Amino acid sequence: MKSEFGFKELKVWQKSMDFADAVLEVAENISSERKHFRLIEQIESSSTSVPQNIAEGKGRNSQKEFIQFLYIARGSLYETVTLLNIFYRRKWITEETLLSLENQAYEIASMLKGLINSLYKDISNKEKK
């Protein structure tokens, strides 16, 4: 069954959904003491922002707008990785958890770069015609 939402067919969206889910699971297992609350909210926001921006960009009117949202998604991905590193330094997560999530993030970052480059190439080819 084909979805009417084209973004759901994008592998990078699917991978970023898995990543967000994994980060949310980690966040749920961190002590919810008041001092942790803001950073936990922030990592929940940044990790879920990745697939949200991919989806929003896919729904825009132009490839140039889509590219802009892919850059925003990449920024949210980098923000999440930074927060994961802070969590590791604070000993809120293990090194194994950090490395696993960083590996997922690296794959997503590579996929975003490939998609952005592909869209730029497509725009360039259309402008030449």
Residues 89-117 pLDDT 10s: 999 999 999 999 999 999 999 999 999 99
Q: Which of 19, 1, 9 is nearest to 106 (CA)?
A: 19
Domains of the chain: 10-128 (1.20.1440.60)
Q: How confident is the model at residue 46 (pLDDT cuts 50, 70, 90)?
A: very high
The answer, as to whether pTM is greater than 0.75, is yes
